Structure 1
Amino acid sequence: MLTKKAGEWLELSVPRDWEGLTIEDILKNAWSMPKQMIHQLRMEKGVRLNGESIYWNTPLAHNDKLRVHLFIEEDYGVQPEYIPELNILFEDDHLLIANKPPRMDTHPNEENQLGTLANAIAYHFQANGVFTKVRHIHRLDRDTTGAVIFAKHKLASAILDRRLEKREIKRTYLALVHGIIKQKKGTIDAAIGRDRHHPTRRRVSQRGQKAITTFKVVQTFVNKKMTLVELELLTGRTHQIRVHMSHLGYPLAGDTLYGGQPIVPRQALHAARISLEHPLTNEKINCEAPFLDHPPIFDNLLV
């Protein structure tokens, strides 16, 4: 689908498979736009067809020019801060995927906090004349590195949130764990809840939230008694991979909260790849996130 940003408007050519549908069909069904957004667009005459405001039940024709008032100026929601480590993997008018370094929060956890990935994204937006709220679609633990998705407007955020919930965004992680895993691949289906004996720790609990992780062994290191594992999240619980691998008896290297040994300065967990369909154009996006540790922790251990 051909789209372009025209000031505060998204302009697109109606594709053949939308022919005969109405504006209401597109907003409600094709995009599943939140009701509040639909109401606002209706009140503000924020949809135009071939340059005119029309009734929303008008059938669309192939190659009609549809405009939607989408790029509304907003406060960033966090304080912009220049952080030279910002590593952008993908960006267009609708979303941004960044590679989060270690020892950095995804977003502020308290008022006026600086030094987070969200602060760096806000500065990047500001420097490029983009005035929109910084919206993370998911997050990574402070000491987990790798790919994080940010939406650049409300519609992209709503679509990506829904796709994440429906498991349509594929997130692939690499972890280095203690022990030799003999099972080549498997699925961990174990609910996760809070540990009432510790303020931040989670644990496998029948009363917890459903949590599913798949894994496969990439490489074993017999002399080091360690295994490199590739994992995919089918749910997004706090500390999910760390809790699940510890529960199996294979805690992550460096993850002292869940039984790992401090042989590296952080838990050896990296969000290595992310795959999704673009929220507006439906093109396939595949991002590989390179390791960012200096000195490298995976490379040092894999010698």
Structure 2
Amino acid sequence: MIPWQKKGEWLELRLPRVLESEEGLKEYLSLSDKYLKQLMQTGGVSIKGPRVRLRLFPNEPINHMHPWAPLEVLYEDHFCLVVQKPPGMKVHGDSAASTNQAATLADAVASYYESTGQSCRVRHIHRLDEDTTGPVLYAKHEWPQQILDAAMREKRIGRQYAAIVQGRLKQKKGTIDAPIGKDRHHPARRRVSPTGERAVTQYEVVEQWGEAALVRLQLETGRTHQIRVHMSYMGHPIWGDQLYGGTTQHINRQALHGERLGFPHPLTGEQLDIECPWPEDMSSLYDILQKI
């Protein structure tokens, strides 16, 4: 591990001799030619032998303005932030929407940055549906965003979900490989369609109680409503997911929660594994179904 420290807007590194060059720096930090050129043009790079300074933490205007909203932080460092998204909150708003729209997770993150004296733009790396709960990853500046966006494209960011579904699954584990496209009869829905985009979900039954089951799932792709569509397609809609045929008994939203988020740290490459506790409504449903 190469020693480093953050000093204000700057990242300071001491590189081994083999990396003492512009090319070595690009390779170690995965800097794109465009971004390195941008840094150099704005005086954001200083290389003096093994000592390197990069202006990777510029003060930036907060790009969301909304009254304070509560936020549960699961992980934070100089480069990234992981927070818990509650049910009923969108990850970000519609830019064309009215200013009196409900607070979003982006607003809550912006409020958090402001209250903690951090001059960062809000940059989400992935999203969750409005009524799905779980961890959401944010990059604090442009460079970690580039690294994490690449990790997302290359499927190096892992997401594990828990869902409570209806019915008895015949197979205890399996892979659902079924393309997903828009439902032309319902603008908010998606459906399995031969003309849709490839969608792959791994699932495993953890517990079965009568006509309900706790299932853990992992995504190989990230289509809109993927888990909800796939479980409904299998004949096991998620409990509470009225849009895809789920019963709303005992819970008024889909019982789908992101339990774990794994990603490589932007600077060190260390694999981070963030756990997210279940929300109260899903825990309550679990307790009820165990007793039926």
| TM-score past 0.5 threshold | yes
Indicate whether 1:81 and 2:79 are aligned. Answer: no
Alignment map for 1:257-296 (pairs within 5 Å): 257-263=243-249, 264-294=251-281, 296=284
- Consecutive unaligned residues of structure 2, counting only runs of 5 or more, are none
- TM-superposed deviation, 1:21: 5.4
Q: Deviations over 1:254-281 (max 9, x none)?
A: 0011111112111000000011110111
Number of residue pairs matched? 285
Q: Which amino acid aligns with 1:43?
A: Q
CA distance in 2, matches of 1:215, 1:241: 10
Instruction: Report what 2:93 is aligned to.
Output: 108
Q: Which amino acid aligns with 1:24?
A: E
Alignment map for 1:81-100 (pairs within 5 Å): 81-84=67-70, 86-100=71-85
Q: Per the alignment, in what secondary structure is the counterpart of residue 284 of structure 2?
A: coil
CA distance in 1, matches of 2:28, 2:170: 45
Alignment match of 2:185 (pick from 178, 181, 197): 197
- Contact 1:101 / 1:293 at 8 angstroms: preserved in 2? no
Instruction: Report what 1:57 is aligned to.
Output: none
CA distance in 1, matches of 2:74, 2:82: 5
Q: Percent identity?
A: 44
Alignment map for 1:3-22 (pairs within 5 Å): 3-14=4-15, 16=16, 19-20=18-19, 22=21
- TM-superposed deviation, 1:22: 2.4
Taking structure 1 as reference, are residues 80 and 3 closer, same or farther at Cα in structure 2, changes over 3 Å only?
A: farther
- Consecutive unaligned residues of structure 1, counting only runs of 5 or more, are 51-59
Q: Deviations over 1:132-165 (max 9, x none)?
A: 1100000100100001100001111111111111
Alignment match of 2:144 (pick from 133, 144, 156): 156
- Contact 2:212 / 2:289 at 8 angstroms: preserved in 1? no
Q: Which amino acid aligns with 1:101?
A: P
- Contact 2:135 / 2:261 at 8 angstroms: preserved in 1? yes
CA distance in 2, matches of 1:119, 1:30: 34
CA distance in 1, matches of 2:85, 2:221: 20
Q: Deviations over 1:2-56 (max 9, x none)?
A: 3322111112232x5x7345223432x3443344322211212311124xxxxxx
Q: Deviations over 1:215-266 (max 9, x none)?
A: 11111012xx011100001111110000011111111000011111112111
CA distance in 2, matches of 1:39, 1:214: 41
Alignment match of 1:245 (pick from 218, 221, 231): 231
Taking structure 1 as reference, are residues 35 and 271 closer, same or farther at Cα in structure 2, changes over 3 Å only?
A: same
- TM-superposed deviation, 1:81: 3.1
CA distance in 2, matches of 1:299, 1:74: 46
Taking structure 1 as reference, are residues 266 and 203 closer, same or farther at Cα in structure 2, changes over 3 Å only?
A: same
CA distance in 1, matches of 2:40, 2:102: 38
Instruction: Report what 2:37 is aligned to.
Output: 39
- Contact 1:80 / 1:126 at 8 angstroms: preserved in 2? no
Q: Per the alignment, in what secondary structure is the counterpart of residue 155 of structure 1?
A: helix
Superposition misfits of 4+ residues, deviation over 2 angstroms = 1-4, 18-27, 29-36, 109-114, 292-303
CA distance in 1, matches of 2:156, 2:51: 29
Q: Which amino acid aligns with 2:124?
A: H
Q: Per the alignment, in what secondary structure is the counterpart of residue 174 of structure 1?
A: strand
Q: Which amino acid aligns with 2:55?
A: H
TM-score by length of 1: 0.88
CA distance in 2, matches of 1:130, 1:80: 16
